[in-house]
């Protein structure tokens, strides 16, 4: 079926970058774009009216973890003065005796919910770290049912994290665990790359620089090259990692990856926040940014996660000026990539002390072309003849936007996921008038609430304090 989207601000691709076509049109058939421009004279089977809307390439989320939002309520634990921006360890490091109760991640409810949540924000492609876990077949089936495009694979590492009853973090090293994890990741890549009619792509995801031995990381790069897949690793993610690597190897996490030959254009670094020169480190030595730039590696930036922790990457512009390809991710809830663009821009302005930093053009490019480049896809992140028919339509004709002159600036400065009207993946409309079409959202939300209550009720069984959720993370006001 041939479809024409007409009348909106169309973000076309001119061979070098994006450009906005006023009252433009996009024609697509099946999973491919046929035409982008001012007028399309050929007959079509269906028309989508987009007057007053931004017609954008589908956004690419370069750092995503599926699951319920329940654990996000535990991020900023007030009884952990040694937290040091350790984010995931707040709910990812149980006591030893409580380890089996710590994670209630399930494919059918939490993971399905988060994929639909991100899809409704206009994201058509996600880079999902560790999603398949112990249930690869059900996970792939769920991705197929949701309809999103997904690059994924099991995560693995040499370490298990635990807290003792005083809240001290403990590393348990297990080389066999890392090797077995890599074998499972390789098996997943071989079996599922190209699944879901090509909407599943696979990657290798070693956990973090401080949780993997150099030997495991070298084996990962060797395996990735043999498989023809890309790699992403959490790097410079928190102060605990920085100091653990510095103590063991007397270099920064980025320097360690460079030293072992890990970095190249087929590698992306999740976060890459705590690098030489960052204000939290008091470590001015070396030049991590230059190392990343010279290697051709990319950075997946998730600003909201760090804003919740009181941290910024510093200047987004600084990474771009160094020559680094940057993508945008959603490492926390709400998974709203439009808002993440705004946070990246505003944090850069604060860091640079300049109102002309953090340009909407740059963060929009990161959320589209930057993400596509990270995965080596020339047919994603752009609207151009031959590109995938992955399209997001955002309603700008709303009281929140007022008068619109520059639709990209309007989107970045004002927009949120709730302004997304239509989402198309592989030529299929999955979200229409803001509603996901493949299931009853309210029924799913009831299941998500029940699962959240289960997670919070389980807290005393695995948390180092042995306390209930309201003691560990008191609500904003007393609830009666």
Beta-bridge partners for 392: 56, 423
Nearest to 291 by CA among 316, 317, 323, 326: 323
Average pLDDT of the residues in 328-350: 97
Host H or E run for residue 194: none
- Alpha-carbon distance of 60 to 119, in angstroms, equals 10
Other CB atoms within 10 Å distance of the CB of residue 395: 20
> CATH number of 2-57+388-434: 3.40.50.620, 3.40.120.10, 2.30.40.10, 2.60.40.1940?
2.30.40.10
> CATH number of 59-374: 3.20.20.140, 2.40.50.140, 3.40.50.720, 3.10.20.30?
3.20.20.140
**pLDDT tens across 211-265, in order?**
999 999 999 999 999 999 999 999 999 999 999 999 999 999 999 999 999 999 9
3-state secondary structure of 225: helix
* 209 contacts 253 by C-beta, under 8 angstroms: yes
- Alpha-carbon distance of 119 to 429, in angstroms, equals 11
3-state secondary structure of 299: strand
User: Which pLDDT belongs to residue 193?
Assistant: 97
- 311 pLDDT band (50/70/90 cuts)? very high
Distance in angstroms between the alpha carbons of the first and the last residue of the chain: 55
Average pLDDT of the residues in 137-154: 98
- Alpha-carbon distance of 373 to 144, in angstroms, equals 24
pLDDT > 70 in the chain, percent: 99
Half-sphere exposure of 303 (CA within 13 A, CB side): 25
Per-residue exposure over 43-59, b if at least 16 CB sit within 10 Å of its own CB, e if not = ebeeebebeebbbbbbb
Q: For the chain, what is the mean pLDDT?
A: 95
* 199 contacts 144 by C-beta, under 8 angstroms: yes
Q: Which letter does DSSP use for residue 388 in this model?
A: B
Q: How far is CA 94 from CA 86, 99, 102, 144, 212, in A?
A: 14, 5, 6, 32, 19
pLDDT over 80 (residue 306)? yes
- 3 pLDDT band (50/70/90 cuts)? very high
- 104 pLDDT band (50/70/90 cuts)? low
3-state secondary structure of 432: strand
**pLDDT tens across 262-279, in order?**
999 999 999 999 999 999
User: Which pLDDT belongs to residue 184?
Assistant: 97
Residue partners of 438: CB distance under 8 A and separation at least 6: 145, 146, 147, 430
- 361 pLDDT band (50/70/90 cuts)? very high
User: Which pLDDT belongs to residue 108?
Assistant: 92
Angle ∠(210,213,216) on CA atoms, nearest 5: 125
Query: Cα torsion at 380, 128, 469, 243 (round to 10°)?
Result: -110
User: Which pLDDT belongs to residue 324?
Assistant: 98
> What is the domain partition of the chain in residue ranges?
2-57+388-434, 59-374
- Alpha-carbon distance of 219 to 38, in angstroms, equals 50
Average pLDDT of the residues in 383-394: 98
pLDDT over 70 (residue 462)? yes
- Alpha-carbon distance of 345 to 358, in angstroms, equals 4
Average pLDDT of the residues in 361-382: 98
What predicted TM-score, i.e. pTM, was given to this entire model? 0.97
Average pLDDT of the residues in 157-186: 95
User: What token pair was written down for 375?
Assistant: 């995965």
Radius of gyration of the chain (CA): 22
Exposed/middle/buried for residue 463 (C-beta within 10 Å: 0-12, 13-18, 19+): buried
């Amino acid at each position: 079926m041939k479809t024409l989207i007409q009348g909106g601000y169309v973000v076309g691709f001119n061979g070098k970058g994006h450009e906005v076509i006023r009252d433009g049109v996009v024609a697509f058939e099946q999973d491919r774009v046929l035409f982008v421009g001012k007028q399309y004279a050929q007959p079509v089977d269906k028309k989508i009216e987009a007057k007053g809307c931004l017609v954008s390439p589908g956004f690419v989320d370069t750092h995503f973890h599926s699951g319920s939002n329940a654990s996000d309520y535990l991020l900023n634990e007030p009884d952990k003065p040694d937290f040091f921006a350790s984010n995931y360890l707040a709910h990812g490091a149980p006591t030893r005796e409580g380890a089996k109760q710590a994670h209630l991640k399930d494919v059918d409810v939490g993971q399905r919910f988060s994929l639909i949540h991100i899809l409704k924000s206009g994201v058509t492609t996600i880079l999902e770290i560790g999603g398949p876990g112990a249930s690869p077949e059900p996970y792939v089936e769920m991705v197929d049912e949701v309809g999103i495009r997904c690059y994924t694979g099991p995560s693995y590492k040499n370490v298990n994290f635990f807290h003792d009853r005083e809240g001290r973090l403990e590393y348990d090293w297990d080389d066999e665990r890392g090797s077995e994890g890599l074998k499972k990741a390789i098996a997943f890549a071989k079996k599922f790359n190209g699944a879901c009619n090509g909407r599943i792509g696979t990657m290798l995801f070693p956990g973090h620089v401080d949780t993997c031995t150099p030997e495991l990381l070298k084996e990962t790069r060797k395996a990735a090259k043999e498989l023809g897949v890309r790699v992403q690793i959490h790097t410079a993610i928190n102060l605990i990692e920085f100091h653990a690597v510095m103590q063991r190897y007397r270099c920064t996490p980025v320097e360690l990856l460079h030293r072992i030959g890990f970095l190249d254009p087929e590698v992306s670094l999740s976060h890459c926040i705590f690098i030489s020169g960052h204000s939290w480190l008091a470590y001015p030595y070396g030049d991590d940014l230059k190392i990343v730039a010279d290697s051709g590696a990319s950075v997946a930036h998730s600003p909201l996660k760090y804003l919740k922790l009181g941290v910024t990457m510093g200047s987004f512009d600084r990474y771009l000026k160094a020559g680094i390809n940057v993508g945008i991710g959603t490492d926390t809830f709400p998974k709203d990539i439009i808002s993440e663009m705004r946070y990246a821009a505003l944090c850069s302005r604060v860091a640079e002390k300049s109102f002309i930093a953090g340009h909407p053009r740059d963060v929009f490019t990161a959320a589209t072309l930057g993400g596509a480049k990270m995965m080596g896809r020339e047919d994603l992140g752009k609207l151009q003849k031959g590109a995938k028919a992955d399209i997001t339509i955002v309603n700008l004709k709303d009281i929140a936007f007022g008068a619109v002159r520059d639709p990209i600036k309007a989107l970045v400065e004002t927009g949120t996921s709730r302004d997304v009207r239509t989402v198309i993946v592989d030529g299929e409309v999955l979200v229409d008038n803001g509603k996901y079409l493949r299931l009853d959202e309210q029924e799913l939300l009831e299941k998500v609430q029940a699962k959240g209550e289960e997670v919070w009720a389980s807290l005393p069984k695995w948390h180092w304090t042995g306390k209930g959720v309201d003691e560990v993370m008191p609500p904003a006001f007393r609830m009666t």
